[in-house]
Each structure stands twice: as structure tokens, then as C-alpha cells.
Amino acid sequence: MSKIFKYLSRAPIFGLVLFVILTTVTTISAFAEFSFQIIIGIGNVPNISINDLPDYSVLLYTDEPFAAVYIDGKYAGNTDSFGRIVVRFDAEGYHSVWILTSNKYAMYDRIVFYVEKQPKIVYIPSTRLGEVTVFSNVYPVYVYSSKGVLYGVVKKDGEKVLAPVGLQELVFSSPGFEDIRQNLNIQYGKEVPVWLKFSPLPFNLELVVSEKFSPNGDWNEDECVIKIYSSRPASGSIQIINSSGIIVYEKPLKIDAGTTQLKWDGKGYPDGVYTVRVLLSDGLTTIQKEAKTVLDTSVYTYAKEITIAFILLFTGLITYLALTGK
């Protein structure tokens, strides 16, 4: 039995299949079942007394008039001219609320609140935004906060991204170039231009391949995974060479900065040690990297047969439950 579980754990798709099964069987709603009633909406009086509201009522208070309110993903209504809406639930429980407004300079995060029998106020503050207009010597430009939150991608001169108001340190990034950091004073609804001149990164290249693989059709390590890490866009070629120095596989390459993943199935080639050779140039510098992998078809794990049997068993169980109504 322990050997069977060992084979199962090594099957590439078994984890995915098991995840889908467990998710299907165990998923339940994160929030309480509910019904709600809009008590106060558009055009109501300025003053609302919590003491006058029915049990299980929540006054949702935003800073945006006539904004759409979604509770647990369901549309609940719009705020009034003062940015308020009162919702009455039928029981205690946790719920989520999200505000959607036509004001592009206001953004809301989803928040979770708890409904009690005693009426309460839930404040939902917005994040106020301003515009950052980018002019750069290269594109695309990715605009991040200092904490790594992506605000947007600029693809040409004069395009804008929205960023929170206040003194912000923004990080501007473009693949193959050094990041630029700038402090900008973002104002609500206003446009702040920024001019960028990126400097190229040094050309660096790394190569990582599977230490061994087994192209025998058992769904376990059937391919050699080849990962190329490049600091800049580059072009060149990849070769796979057997132990006698003969090139058994060759392909031209054109990659972007970052990680490029390739696979070699090795089918039809004898067991042995193979060398993966990558030769790339960024137009100024040429780099060659090599790594070795072992092709070994001698071990058959039966992972394919076990996975297929498991899927058929599960499908049969679901069909039986559906037909019997259990």
C-alpha cells in the first residue's frame, strides 16, 4: 500500500485531480445564507437614527453617492445622495460588501462585516486616486507601489495609470532594464506627468534542467524540463548533445527577459547522459551555458494506470450518486 501512495504522489496530474475532487466535495459558502431588504436608499432624509432601525439592520456608510452596492456578490442597491444605504438581514452572520462607482478616481476594497441583532454602522472608506502620465525611452513600463502592488502597464507615450493620492514612492519597471524609483505627489483627480530614462541591465544568463527524466509513458517525469533565466531579451539557439558529442536536437531561440521554460521529450533516444547547451546574445554580449540531464527509461512507476483507475472510480461514484439521488 505504501508503494501505491508513493506512485500516486509522483503522478503529475494526480495532485490536480485530487484537488478538484476535494474542492467539489468540501466547498461550502464562506458567508451565512441570507436574505436582505433595502430599508433606506436614494432620496431619503439626511438624518438616520440607528435606534429607529429594525433588528439585524446595517447602515453601510460610504463617501460616494449613488454607488452600486454588492453584498456577498449580489447587487443590493445604490447608496443615496449622502453615500448611505441601510440593509436589513434575517439573522446574524458574516457578510462581504463591495462598492462599485462610476467615479474612476475612487476605488473600494471588499470588506467583511458581522451582522448582529442590534443595528450597527459599517463605514466603507474609499481609496482616492490621481493619474500618473508616463513618458519613457522604452516600453512597456510597469508601475508598482513601493510594496510591489501593480498599478498598471503603460505601452506608449502619454498613457496613464491610477495611483493613490499622497506622497507616493512609485517603482517603474521594464524588462531588461534597471528599475526607476521616484517620489510623486499624487493629487485627487489630477494628472502628474513623469519622464523616465531606463538604463539597460547587464546581460546575465542561467540554465537549469531536470537532473533526470524517464520518457517511458508512465506520466512520471516523462519530459526534461529546461528553464532559461535571462536578464534581457535575447536570441540564439539550444542544442542537446549525446555522450558521443553528436547533436541530437537543435532549435533556434528568441526569448524575453525573465524565465523561459522549454521541454524535451527525449523519445526515441537511448538511455544515457545528455548535455543541454544554450547560446544566446542580446546584440552586444554572447553567453553560452551548459547543463547535463540523465535519460533513464528503466523504471516504470504505473502512475498512469493508477491515476486513470482513480478517475474512473470517482466518475463511477458520481454517476451512481446522481442516478440514485443520494
Look at residue 14 and give its three-state secondary structure. helix
Q: What is the pLDDT of residue 309?
A: 84
Q: What is the pLDDT of residue 29?
A: 34
120, β-bridge pairs: 58
DSSP code, position 244: T
pLDDT tens per residue across span 99-121:
999 999 999 999 999 999 999 99
12: nearest Cα among 271, 228, 213, 313? 213
Residue 204 has pLDDT above 90, yes or no: yes
Q: What is the pLDDT of residue 3?
A: 42
Assigned CATH topology for domain 36-125: Immunoglobulin-like (2.60.40)
Distance CA 173, CA 142 (A): 5
DSSP code, position 79: -
Q: What is the pLDDT of residue 171?
A: 98
Instruction: Order the strands of the 258-264 sheet from edge to edge.
Output: 205-209, 224-230, 258-264
pLDDT confidence band for 321 (50 / 70 / 90): confident
Q: What is the pLDDT of residue 38?
A: 53
pLDDT tens per residue across span 141-164:
999 999 999 999 999 999 999 999
pTM of the model: 0.63
pLDDT confidence band for 20 (50 / 70 / 90): very low
Residue 222 has pLDDT above 70, yes or no: yes
pLDDT confidence band for 37 (50 / 70 / 90): low
97: nearest Cα among 182, 36, 172? 36
Q: What is the pLDDT of residue 36?
A: 54
Write phi, then psi, for 222 (nearest 5 degrees): -75, -15
Q: Pairing between strand 212-213 and 286-295? A: parallel
Q: What is the pLDDT of residue 216?
A: 86
Q: How far is CA 326 from CA 28, 134, 160, 312, 322, in A?
A: 18, 60, 56, 19, 7
The region of weakest confidence among 4-8, 87-91, 232-236 is: 4-8
* Mean per-residue pLDDT of the chain: 86
Please state, for a pLDDT cut of 90, what percent of the chain lies above it.
Answer: 67
Q: What single string gives the DSSP state of each residue in 25-67? A: HH---SS----EEEEE-TT--S---GGGSPTTEEEEE-S-TT-
Write phi, then psi, for 119 (nearest 5 degrees): -55, 150
Q: What is the pLDDT of residue 220?
A: 81
Question: What phi-psi label fits residue 39: left (phi over 0), alpha (psi between -120 and 50 degrees) or beta?
Answer: alpha
Look at residue 303 and give its three-state secondary structure. helix
Look at residue 20 and give its three-state secondary structure. helix
Q: How far is CA 241 from CA 43, 49, 105, 275, 296, in A?
A: 77, 80, 57, 5, 16
* Residue boundaries of the structural domains of the chain: 36-125, 128-196, 205-295
36-125 against 128-196: fold identical: yes
For 205-295, CATH gives: 2.60.40.2550
Distance CA 325, CA 80 (A): 47
Q: What is the pLDDT of residue 118?
A: 95
Asked if the 128-196 domain carries CATH number 3.40.50.300, the reply is: no
Q: What is the pLDDT of residue 46?
A: 62
Q: What is the pLDDT of residue 35?
A: 54
pLDDT tens per residue across span 68-98:
999 999 999 999 989 999 999 999 999 999 9
Residue 2 has pLDDT above 70, yes or no: no
DSSP code, position 125: P
Q: What is the pLDDT of residue 304?
A: 72
Q: What is the pLDDT of residue 1?
A: 40
Q: For residues 177 and 201, is the Cβ–Cβ distance under 8 A?
A: yes
